[in-house]
Amino acid sequence: MSLGIPVKLLHEAIGHTVTCELKTGEMYRGHLMNCEDNMNAMLEGVTVTARDGKVTNLDQVYLRGSQIRYFILPDMLRHAPLFKKKGRGAGRGVYGPGGKARGKGGLAGRARAAQAAQR
C-alpha cells in the first residue's frame, strides 16, 4: 500500500516549524523532528497553547496521530518535489512494467503500430 499525499507532505516537513491542533483543542507549535505513517509526530522546542489560552513551553513532545485534528505546514512546501509534474512518458506506458502488452487480446490498434515502429 502506498502513502497518501498528506502523509508524504508531512514527511517533507521534517525539520521545519509546524503547528498542530489536537482534538482536545490544544495547539502545539515547534520543529517537526520525526513523523510516522500513522501521523504520530515528534516536535522539539514546543510552545503549547491550551484551550483557555494558557501558554507553556516544552523541550520535546510526542503526539499521537489519531488525536491530531490538523497540521499547519510552511508555505515553502508548496514547491516540494512531491508536486513536480512528471515528464512525458514517465508513467508505465502501453506495455506496462514488463515491457510488453499483457492480457487476453494482445496488442491492438495504436499499441501494435507503436511496437511495429520500434522494430
pLDDT digits (tens, 9 = 90+) for 43-82: 999 999 999 999 999 999 999 999 999 999 988 777 676 6
CA 94 to CA 106: how far, in whole Å?
11
For the chain, the domains span 5-83
Q: State pTM to two decimals.
A: 0.67
What local confidence, expressed as pLDDT, does residue 74 receive? Answer: 87
Of 26, 71, 77, the C-alpha closest to 47 is 26
At the topology level, CATH places domain 5-83 in: SH3 type barrels. (2.30.30)
Residue 112's pLDDT is 64
DSSP secondary structure string, 67-114? GEEEEE--GGGGG-GGGPPPPTT-S--TTTTTTS--SSS-S-THHHHH
**How confident is the model over 14-54, as pLDDT tens digits?**
999 999 999 999 999 999 999 999 999 999 999 999 999 99
